[in-house]
Amino acid sequence: MGDFARARTQRLEYKSQLATADEPRRGDLDGRGNLTQGGLAEFCEFFLRACVDQVEFMEGLLEPAEMLRRMEIWSEEEIRAKRIPRGSWPLLREAVVAGEFARGQASQLTGYEIRQARTVLMR
């Protein structure tokens, strides 16, 4: 099934499951309020399966294990084309791996003197 067809099917199933969660209780042992607890549980299971499916889909697109390698190749090409300065790759890698880093670490990461490292960081 193609991505568009699967998305359409999930949209229809979502509406159906949501409607099921809003059904009246299915007897005295099905929840405490007016709505069915069983229907809500079914909706939650559907929703979590859809979430896992989306995470797996995005993982397949991004290939996290290969992402750093692709980024390094990209940065090498950009450096050769003089669109980013030499020393940019270690800063980019650290930002991706750690999420952030202190400005003062630029010199240590690039191996450059403080002034040159900050110039790379600014660009």
Average pLDDT over residues 52-80: 92
Residue with the bigger pLDDT between 16 and 82: it is 82
Residue 112 confidence (pLDDT) above 70? yes
Neighbours of 90 (CB within 10 A): 19
pTM over cut 0.85: no
Q: What is the mean pLDDT of the chain?
A: 88
Portion of the chain with pLDDT greater than 90, in percent: 54
Cα 113 to chain centroid distance, Å, stands at 35
Residue with the bigger pLDDT between 4 and 90: it is 90
Residue 2 confidence (pLDDT) above 80? no
Contact (CB, 8 A) for 120 and 95: no
